[in-house]
Amino acid sequence: MTARTSDIEKAAGVLRAGGLVAFPTETVYGLGANAQDSAAVARVFQVKGRPPSHPLIVHIGGVEHLGDWVEDVPATARLLGERFWPGPLTLVLRRGRRVPLEATGGLETVAVRVPDHPVALALLSAFGGGVAAPSANRFGSVSPTTADHVRAELGDAVDYVLDGGPCEVGVESTIVDATGDVPSVLRPGGVTREDLEAVLGCPLTVPSTSRVRVPGQHPSHYAPRARVVLVEPEKVVAEAELAQELGHRVGVFLPPSLAGAPVKAHAVVAVPASMAAYARGLYGFLRELDQQGCDLIVASLPVEEGLGLAIANRLRRAAGPRPS
């Protein structure tokens, strides 16, 4: 069920009182606090189990408010904000004085975005300030794309959950460092590199997964409980069946090129051929295979263009080495 006006008012009141509100965005659900309330922001870290050095994103209601939250708005940042907001793009800029260091993990830069979701925009408008929010999951695990995911994972630790239905985009925002002369992508996401390059008129650097530049990021992130193994698409079935024979409970991400192929495994997800549908479903698929009791997920990477870049980034990091 989607949030009503009275729910939005209630959520804005919770934020004003220093509480935490989980809310829908077009990418994933966020765990929000008043961005200017250091104590509320500290609770976000506590509830997520997230190291305090790992900065949050400040969500604002429109590009016209950007100047309130950052030291200055370089021309490139203005261009990107005007073109892609509201939308799945986060800009990293120099921190404005009203942003507490708690929200930026002690950094002199701040990440800002305008989410493209009617419930998020209504909340930001009713609240009137900025909402600092990471994805509403425990640190390192899979981001929630429905209100039920949030309730299942965070339960009573959140003061209020706004339900806006399933998220349309399904993977997090693209993070662009716009502090320097040449913008760079810190995390691929819902706005494609191709779309950014078309607007900027220049090629962008994108980090390789092995050399993560976003502060505080761990190689294993966006990870389900089950271990994730990545193989070439044509080897998915053989790899899955071998692991199943060896006693694993195997979940398979069956690539579209093998649609309908029989697989002897514990559970099978048919990967959608459309990248938009794959991105929308990705985190739900991972959660579903966990729920079915799989201990191993065999998947392959999509072609790394368009939304495929963000999907491949999340799959690589889900398959990355786990903290011991």
Count of chain residues binding Mg ion (CB under 5 A): 1
* Part in contact with Mg ion (CB under 5 A); list of ranges 132-140, 196-204, 206-214, 309-317: 132-140
Rounded distance between C-alpha atoms, residue 201 and residue 10, angstroms: 44
Pairing type for strands 109-113 and 89-94 reads antiparallel
- End-to-end, the C-alpha distance of the chain in Å comes to 39
Q: Which does 90 bind (CB under 5 to 8 A by kind): ligand TXA, Mg ion, none?
A: ligand TXA
Q: Which of 76, 135, 179, 192 lies at the binding interface for Mg ion (CB under 5 A)?
A: 135
Q: Which does 149 bind (CB under 5 to 8 A by kind): Mg ion, ligand TXA, none?
A: none
To Mg ion, the closest distance from the beta carbon of 154 in angstroms equals 13
Sequential DSSP letters for 86-152: SSSEEEEEEBPTTS-TTTTTT-SEEEEE----HHHHHHHHHH-S-EEE-BSS-TTBPPP-SHHHHHH
Could you give the dihedral angle defined by the CA atoms of residues 274, 302, 217 and 21, in that order, rounded to the nearest 10 degrees? 20
Q: Is 135 annotated as a binding residue?
A: yes
- Residues 78 and 72 sit within 8 Å (Cβ to Cβ): no
- Can you give the binding site for ligand TXA, defined by CB under 6 A? 25, 27-28, 30, 54-57, 88, 90, 92, 104, 107, 109-111, 113, 115, 133-135, 172-173, 175, 186, 214-217
Q: If phi over 0 gives left and psi between -120 and 50 gives alpha, with beta otherwise, what is residue 89? A: beta
What residue is closest to Mg ion based on CB? 135
To Mg ion, the closest distance from the beta carbon of 139 in angstroms equals 8
To ligand TXA, the closest distance from the beta carbon of 11 in angstroms equals 15
Could you give the dihedral angle defined by the CA atoms of residues 45, 49, 53 and 56, in that order, rounded to the nearest 10 degrees? -50
- Residues 1 and 12 sit within 8 Å (Cβ to Cβ): no
Return the half-sphere exposure (C-beta side, CA atoms, 13 A cut-off) of residue 265.
29
To ligand TXA, the closest distance from the beta carbon of 104 in angstroms equals 5
To ligand TXA, the closest distance from the beta carbon of 255 in angstroms equals 26
DSSP class of residue 212 equals -
Q: Which does 55 bind (CB under 5 to 8 A by kind): ligand TXA, Mg ion, none?
A: ligand TXA
To ligand TXA, the closest distance from the beta carbon of 55 in angstroms equals 3
Nearer to ligand TXA, 88 or 224 (CB): 88
Is 300 one of the binding residues for Mg ion (CB under 5 A)? no
Q: Which does 214 bind (CB under 5 to 8 A by kind): Mg ion, ligand TXA, none?
A: ligand TXA
Q: Is 27 annotated as a binding residue?
A: yes
Q: Is 50 annotated as a binding residue?
A: yes
- Residues 30 and 23 sit within 8 Å (Cβ to Cβ): yes
Rounded distance between C-alpha atoms, residue 244 and residue 250, angstroms: 6
Q: Is 318 annotated as a binding residue?
A: no
Binding residues for L-threonine: 27, 113, 133, 173
Q: Using CB under 5 A, list all residues that contact Mg ion.
A: 135
